[in-house]
Structure 1
């Protein structure tokens, strides 16, 4: 029998052989660039879609605000269910209810929200039908139960989803469809109107939409895809995360009052976690209040996204994915994706290879995360480098 140490070592060697080994490298950040031990690189791996985390004017206005001064506590020191339920949590939840028309419940991250909410719902007689490109945290939320009722459908394939609904609707008290507003790897939108139309054919189907990558950066006032399409009332569970375009930390689920009370009593990631520091909650509320003023950034981001995708499609003979601020270059093999990423590093760009299990095997890619403080010229220069790497690789 192998020792625990030997088993772990063998697994690591297997990952290295498959070009799928991960490491942590210390970094320093300065605006759009990050610096490692030996190089300064233009960062295409950040989800700071509106460029707010290093926006001096935005940050100064937050530091000068009453929100910062009145809620400047650097630790909650407790779970919300004990002594950590500071006033600012309620202020943010009330504001979110005003914006989205649903009760809001805060979590420490999108991961905490998904594992807590889906874990709690898994205790009920529920079937989950998930897009195959759904985020890992959704799947992890269902793994806590011995026999999770889970079926998958091919990415954004509404015919496959319709078949699964028709086949299973009569056998479960409820069915929850899991999808993302804007998918984190493919960068495409879910066909939300079609999802809603399918939902409404049944009386026991619920929609669970994760807008981690669309909140803040997309739609009128930056309120995401569901609000943009005026479909908020059709969405039963809406997850928003605050660590990307909103330049803060944390997440929430928006839902019916009964479900909020249910999650307060059953979501383990909420019950057993020290709450986020109040200062971070104040930062999130400040960001939501500022979103209507950031239309220029969203317009520029949309323009950059169209421009970059058009350039890549014109110059490269690879599949190019993405509908908005996430543009992906599908390379297939892990080794090829790693080669592209390492060569980009040498040319001054940071775009790590994305490999399984983040994406399906043989679907390794480079993911370019665009931010509103980038310029056309930077993307055009990157495209020239990518074409050079591609020509040398073929």
Structure 2
């Protein structure tokens, strides 16, 4: 079923930007409240209610439904503050394996349309669809197709911005949220930008916004009509030229097809400081399982295992070990991380956080593997594959090591 009825003009444009998408071959696709939307697949009974995804009171918000955002809750906010702002919200623990799996499915949808996909994170990407127009139709039609397929195949919604540059496409997807599509015609780029506040420009953070305020500049139009020399004098050469170009819609960046992630990892902030090495060993297994699952979902294996430890006083250290060959096997990653931890000889030091990361990634299908004389026909790699298949069918965590069963 087409979702064309969800294509919306920018409310600030006074009635519409128009439907002319000629030359607008850059798309920015952004999942709506990604982590929260994925969690609602597990808990459909919570649809339409405020939901927060995050850790304990000492953690931070990973995502929140739009019902929770109305109370001021947003990503990266301390969980304790989020609970105070929205006490009626349901707080759900994150399931990173699900996020990686669904993200991989979403990226497959994108790459089925165009090979020129530049992921920015698990839940958003730029696409150059110039090579797909003849086959699939206009950029707007392609955006509609992407939204339909993501909804049908992954069960979540996304918003799409269609424009002639990356910068404007990203602004358009934000203006289309949630669950919409917005086209900014090439001829309307400058009027669209000039109505926005200066904070909308890429690269304007809190300090730059303050500097612009001291110059009396509050909108993008103000920046555009300020002499370049004045901007350079007030903001510096690089920032002044950068903002002046963006204010006139000039963005020369091209969509660049992605390279594989350099690392994959997971970490855990404990609700209270811990000093029991047996507890830490269990958490390292949990993190290794999560990291290995994400690696397998993305079809990569890594050669270097990195351990991260943060102490109660927030001092943080890392230790790493490079293996003889790349791996995506939970048991091997956990054994290495555990050896690294034991090698620290901490003697009951109080810990706030531990993490496990896999680096030196390469395509697992082509990574060389050393054969071992007398090796069994089926080993731990096959066991992990069976776990992945069971998780895909019955849900993440349906099969797990016995050590991780029972209360944490």
TM class by smaller structure: under 0.3
- Return the TM-score normalized by structure 2: 0.26
Q: Which has the larger radius of gyration?
A: 2
- Return the TM-score normalized by structure 1: 0.26
Q: Which has the higher contact order (CA 8 A, sep 6+)?
A: 1
